[in-house]
Structure 1
């Protein structure tokens, strides 16, 4: 009996590798019982064939494709806002254009879930393939728009955004967001690098002592 080879543009080798998992093995068995078909996975050639009556084969093929693509498409995508070949202050520009909650981006690219990791300067994206690609294009356009400007004096040297609950380090005299300082301390503790901390602004070792927050002017 000649089976029907399951085909779909999004069924890449990476997606088909999911069939090697124990959960997908159970899924194939359940589909066979429900559809009355026989499903065979060729590991060597990375393809799937469905055997049975044409109507049942078509239904099983559609269900199989949907089941394979759903977890793969929901895989988190990380868009970096700092690093090699990226302009300084990119995260600050993204926040100023689209808001701290990235609501502007969510409206531009519906169907994705976005979270901004201010510590690592990363946007975490979850959603389907097309919206993810659109999100990368939007951020790339921002990075290439010539927006790079030196951070304002009222910007936090860690997150590059306007100071929130500002704290000043007595040793170096620089101002940081309270949340950013707490995150830096927690990160240092977890990494066991110990203290004193290194001043993020000038990258020199300074002992950190939080002082009372200074007067902060709005960012122009």
Structure 2
């Protein structure tokens, strides 16, 4: 994004999309800031990131997930010396692994109840498909191909707070898109000083070799 700023691509005529599935809550809130960088580069990055929108996995926000996070952190402190989480809540992938074990247990129990074998992987796998249950991360929905229907969040920089915030949630499980924008449609994904929509034909495209 620093290079985009240098090439004047944050002038309001361009929008950049970033796929970031693994960042922590703290890292995703202010990705433009580097404590060990110069004030000038942080300023330029801050300006450039106004033209960036990030797609990430929806982070669970339920009280149940908060309790789950506290228990994971408590066990980590007890079982692994000198290890602490630097986050308010553990990464959503930790919850996803938890729900994967629950999914396997449900399918295994059903297989055994039908006089199946614990070694019959094909039978156990078939019982994982086409099913929905409530996990620690929320609704877990597995389609007919064995893929999980995931929920995603769209993040945009709020100029008032200098932080990226969730503005849209795309739910494959509920087949819906919900808006949570506090930024306002006039500033979503728009960099520079532009106050009106840009042309669909960018005029400042100057590539360098």
TM-score (structure 1 length as normaliser):
0.23
Between the two structures, name the one with larger relative contact order (CA 8 Å, sep ≥ 6): 2
Q: What TM-score comes out, normalization by structure 2 length? A: 0.23
